[in-house]
C-alpha cells in the first residue's frame, strides 16, 4: 500500500504537527474524505494491478510488433501524468486544502520533482527498448516544467537516451493541449536523430486526447487514473474494472 506521508500525517489528527515541507492545512480543514478516484489511486492496490495489467498487454503487443519490423523502425508514444508519473500526492494536498487544480499549484508541484512511477511503466519501457523500439513522451506539461520533469523522470529511473529519446512538452503559458501536431512530429524528430522512417505503433495514456483523433495503424492502451484529471479514457473510471 502506498499511503503518502501527507495522509499519514492527517490520520494522526488535527493536533498532529504538519511535517516541514508539507502543504499547510487550512484551519479546520482536516478532510480526510478523499474523492473516490483519488482514494483509489492513493490506496494503490486495485489501481496498481490494473496499471500493471495494461502495461503488460502493451508490452506483449510491442513484442509482437517487433517480430515483423526491423530494429529502431517503430516507436511507442506515452503521455506522462497519470500514465508514467503518479501525481496523487499533489491531488491529496489539494483536497486537504479544500482546493482543486490550479496552474500555479501544479507548477509548484512539478518543481518538487516528487511524482512517483505508475506501476508497470518501467517494465514496459524496458521491454520496448529491448525489443528494438523507441520510446517518446508527449505531455501537456509546459516547457517551463521540462527540466524538472526530466529530473523527476531520472530520479525514478527513466533517463533520456537510455529509456526514452523524445519528450515533447507544450509552450508556456497557453499552447494548445491538443496533441496531434506533436504526435506527427515524433517520427521527424527521430529521423533527424538518425532513425529514418519510424512508425508509431502504440499510444499509451489516461485521457482520450492521448491518441490521434484519426484512427490509424496503431493500438491505444488506456491507464485508468480514477477520473482525477481531464477526460479519462477509461470507460468507467475507478475501481472494479
Ligand atoms: Mg495524463
Q: Which residues of the chain have pLDDT under 50?
A: 1-23, 31
pLDDT at residue number 239: 80
181-209 pLDDT, tens per residue? 999 999 999 999 999 999 999 999 999 99
Strand segments (E) across the chain? 74-78, 85-86, 116-117, 134-142, 166-170, 199-205, 219-222
pLDDT at residue number 130: 98
**Chain position carrying cell 517494465:** 123
Q: How far does residue 78's CA lie from ligand 1's centre (Å)?
A: 9
pLDDT at residue number 235: 86
Q: How far does residue 125's CA lie from ligand 1's centre (Å)?
A: 17
Q: How far does residue 184's CA lie from ligand 1's centre (Å)?
A: 19
pLDDT at residue number 150: 98
pLDDT at residue number 21: 40
Q: How far does residue 177's CA lie from ligand 1's centre (Å)?
A: 11
pLDDT at residue number 104: 96
pLDDT at residue number 58: 98
Strand segments (E) across 18-149? 74-78, 85-86, 116-117, 134-142
**Chain position carrying cell 494503490:** 44
pLDDT at residue number 33: 87
Task: List domains and CATH numbers for the chain.
Answer: 5-222 (3.40.50.1000)
Amino acid at each position: 500500500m502506498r499511503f503518502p506521508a501527507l495522509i499519514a500525517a492527517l490520520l494522526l489528527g488535527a493536533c498532529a504537527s504538519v511535517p516541514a515541507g508539507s502543504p499547510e492545512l487550512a484551519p479546520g480543514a482536516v478532510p480526510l474524505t478523499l474523492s473516490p478516484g483519488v482514494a483509489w489511486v492513493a490506496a494503490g492496490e486495485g489501481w496498481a494491478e490494473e496499471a500493471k495489467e495494461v502495461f503488460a498487454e502493451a508490452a506483449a503487443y510491442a513484442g509482437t510488433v517487433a517480430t515483423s519490423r526491423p530494429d529502431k523502425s517503430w516507436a511507442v508514444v506515452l503521455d506522462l501524468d497519470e500514465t508514467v508519473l503518479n501525481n496523487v500526492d499533489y491531488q491529496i494536498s489539494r483536497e486537504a486544502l479544500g482546493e482543486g487544480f490550479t496552474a500555479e499549484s501544479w507548477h509548484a508541484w512539478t518543481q518538487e520533482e516528487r511524482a512517483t512511477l505508475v506501476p508497470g511503466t518501467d517494465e514496459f519501457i524496458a521491454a520496448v527498448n529491448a525489443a528494438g523500439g523507441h520510446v517518446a513522451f508527449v505531455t501537456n506539461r509546459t516547457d517551463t516544467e521540462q527540466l524538472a520533469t526530466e529530473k523527476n523522470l531520472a530520479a525514478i529511473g527513466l533517463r533520456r537516451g537510455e529509456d526514452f529519446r523524445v519528450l515533447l512538452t507544450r509552450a508556456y503559458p497557453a499552447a494548445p493541449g491538443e496533441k496531434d501536431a506533436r504526435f506527427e512530429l515524433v517520427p521527424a524528430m527521430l529521423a533527424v536523430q538518425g532513425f529514418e522512417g519510424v512508425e508509431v505503433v502504440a499510444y499509451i495514456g489516461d485521457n482520450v486526447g492521448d491518441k490521434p483523433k484519426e484512427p490509424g495503424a496503431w493500438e491505444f492502451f488506456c491507464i485508468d487514473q480514477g477520473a482525477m484529471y481531464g477526460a479519462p479514457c477509461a470507460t468507467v473510471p475507478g475501481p472494479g474494472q
